[in-house]
A and B are shown apart, each in its own frame.
Chain A
Amino acid sequence: MDWRRFAIIALIIVVMFGTVVLIGTSQNSPLVIITSMMATTIAVATPLTLGALSGIYCERAGVVNIGIEGMMLGAAFFGWLAAIYMNTIFHYPAMPSLIVGVIAAIITGGLFALLHAVLSITFKVDQIIGGTVINILAAGITGFLNRQLFFGAGSVFHGQIPNAPGVLPTIHIPLLADIPTVGRIFEQQPIAISAILLVIITHFVLFRTRWGLRTRAVGEHPRAADTVGINVIRMRYMNVIIGGFLAGLGGAYFTLEAISSFEANMTNGRGFIALAAMIFGNWTPFGAWTAALVFGAAQALQINLQFFRELIPPQLAVLQNSYVVGLAPYLLTMLILTGIIGKTIPPAADGKVYEK
């Protein structure tokens, strides 16, 4: 693999963490700061990782997907809705309701992906436009339904705020979670854990299985793949829908794991950041994951610089300005796209319509 890329990413994260440790050391011990920053990093990276993996499945098969944002938003809403219906209307206990919610979110992601597949593979609509349609559609539908269902006395819940079934429980990873201080990193919720597992699984699927080989063939040389008997259309459909499932799980993170409510447009552009993470990571699962961690670390940096605002020495006053610090991840992404740490190479047939 591309060790130089990982080394540079690791260096970036170390610099971010180190800055905060140096500033905050008089208030909190370095171990506490690093643990807390790592926890933040993992939390922020979870939806980004899942979104990026979603993009990898689609694009490795040759379908550009900028609709991840819309898929996540739609999944966040319908997953949450399903959980609330199960819990409040059908009176199921919290845990089964949440599981149904996660499944509903995954299916919603899959349905949006199916729409994308129909548009871009069957109707041969420009793939970026298909994604844009999904983004606008998801924002409109979720905003409209959220209002119709939950606001005003005529709504399903008579204007009352339904009691959400809470969030997915925290899992204590045995032994590791018992380590003092650092153990905090190993207390994670299920979607955060599955995001990391899915990185490993996706890597294995893409590079160690027949399915992965075929997927990559379809994304690199669809015509050649076709001649050796791979059904290009079918492979593309399947991979786009699998990608949708992953984006759906990423959406579930927002309303079933992070917090227990839905707000209009609550994904707030994270689908696009996920897309950037995918490219940043050169269309590889581990690359995308480390890129998502960089975005997570940047967020942790920003929160913590405000946290320790009073301790920032005057010669570093610029770090007190959250607008300036806020630029870091975006500038970094652009820098990486220029090829400074190795060129990013998309699958050769990415975004190209396959005509038999």
Chain B
Amino acid sequence: MREDHLEALSLLHDPVRRSLYETVAGSGGDVGRAEAAEATGVSRTLAGHHLDKLVEAGLLESGFRQPERRGPGSGRPAKVYRRASGERSVSLPPRDYAVLASVLAGVVDALGAEEKAEQVARAAGARLARDHRGEPVEAVLAGRGYEPYTDRAGEDAPAGGEGRLRLRNCPFHALSQEHPLLVCSMNLALCQGLLEGLGDRPERAALDPRPGECCVSLALPSDTKTNED
């Protein structure tokens, strides 16, 4: 067990800190003290205190946002917070699936078995959907840690249309850095299998890579209505 991870996670036991963390993480970008204070209903000073504690523990990162006006009287740069990229996890008893997953990804590469891996991932996605029949895919993806959000400004998306359901978090992040082609392809297959298993259209999920997010995005449900008849 990693003591520093356990300590970092135990900070979130405090409801104010937990709520501040969720505000910052859920924003997908930089959040200032005032904004975080307002969202959680605590004073700016208290928010600042707790946010800095979360930075100290490595759960958040801080930076400075330059004031819009420059020169004298424009004030100091505002301190902003964003979710730290490092992962924290504690498992009791100790478990280490990441190393094994990495080895298995290496095996797929060595065998050139990407197609088979995608087939298996798709079937796994359909299996995951079994307990969620009738639920919207957005809720199921949220439950699996993908952090979906609706992006209306999606003109550049491969499938076109009004916008996309994007996934802020990649649940397989570390592995996708190591084996991006394999992991992103398997993740797409998994999402397609999930859609299929939910009785939705698998084509809603498409590869849509961008820095800092999951490489899969989904067509919005409204886009699919025209194809239902």
**Mutual binders A and B:** no
